[in-house]
Amino acid sequence: MASIVDLQTIINTYLILAFKLIKFTLGDLYTVMILRQNVQTDEELLLLLSGDSEKAFDELYNRYWKKLFVVAMQTLKDQEQAEEIVHDVFLKLWSLRTTLKVEKSLSLYLAAAVKYHVLNHLAKQKRRAVLWEKKPQPVQEAEETTADWLREKELMLELKYAVSALPDKCRIVYTMSREQGLTTKQISAELDIPLNTVESQLSRSLKLLRHHFRGKLGMFLFF
């Protein structure tokens, strides 16, 4: 009789454990389904982004940063330059958030933007190398070069004034990025502030400087 009772107890225990296991598994499956339902599409995130949603920006940043970094690295073979270009593309995305219209795939749009920035970066490097190796010029060309140099110097002084007039946080981030050559990650670590805050401040500073130099030459000086 005792053995029958023990056997029944064991069976009941196994049934309870089996029920709990099934309940746990179904609960996990339900959670996964809910999470999948809550995953927002690129179109939904762009719509939220146009309303100044930083969470939408963070989601897009986390979703595409690694993919875009790989695209940049394929050509540049330089980690810091690749990171900087990808960050610049995301800064551009943030600055255009209210007017941006992506006709097809956001993934393709961002990849194309990275490739464009990479080619532009390489072209600038090539132009600098050519100018550095240039032979002495005739007098007339030298005079024109001097005039160009003076205009550039004047613009640099005006840029210095415009930067000094920026809000404190914008000025610090801009100076560290464009004058000290630090990446946004390095600035984030140096100032101990979130990466998206650095990007937001840099984007704001560039917007203010663009407004200051609107209609003038030399805007390339700070891009």
Domain regions of the chain by residue span: 1-39, 42-134, 138-223
Structure tokens at 121: 């970066």
Cβ-based neighbour number of residue 61 at 10 Å: 19
Q: Which residue has tokens 């610090």?
A: 172
The DSSP 8-state label assigned to residue 176 in this structure reads I
Structure confidence at residue 216 (pLDDT): 53
| Helical H segments across 39-182, by residue range | 42-49, 54-76, 79-95, 106-132, 139-164, 168-174
Q: What is the pLDDT along the chain (223 residues), one digit of tens a residue?
A: 445 555 666 665 655 655 555 544 444 444 444 334 567 899 999 999 999 888 999 999 999 999 999 999 999 998 988 988 998 888 889 888 888 888 889 999 999 999 998 988 888 877 766 666 655 555 444 444 455 555 666 667 777 777 887 888 888 888 888 777 788 888 988 888 998 888 888 888 877 777 666 655 444 434 4
Structure confidence at residue 11 (pLDDT): 62
Q: Which residue has tokens 């990849």?
A: 111
d(CA 17, CA 82): 53
* Contacts by 113-121, CB closer than 8 A, 24 or more apart: 113/89, 114/68, 114/71, 114/72, 114/85, 114/86, 114/89, 115/71, 115/75, 117/72, 117/85, 117/88, 117/89, 118/71, 118/72, 118/75, 118/76, 118/85, 121/76, 121/81, 121/85
Phi, psi of 125 (to 5 degrees): -60, -40
Cβ-based neighbour number of residue 184 at 10 Å: 24
Structure confidence at residue 64 (pLDDT): 94
- 138-223: which CATH number, 3.90.1150.10, 3.40.50.720, 1.10.630.10, 1.10.10.10? 1.10.10.10
Q: Could you tell me which residues come within 8 angstroms of residue 88 by beta carbon, excluding any fewer than 6 positions away?
A: 117
Distances (CA, A) of 102 to 3, 14, 47, 54, 111: 73, 57, 11, 19, 13
Structure confidence at residue 143 (pLDDT): 47
Residue among 69, 34, 64 at smallest CA distance from 49? 64
Architecture per CATH, domain 42-134, reads as Orthogonal Bundle (1.10)
Structure confidence at residue 220 (pLDDT): 41
Structure confidence at residue 185 (pLDDT): 87
Structure confidence at residue 222 (pLDDT): 41
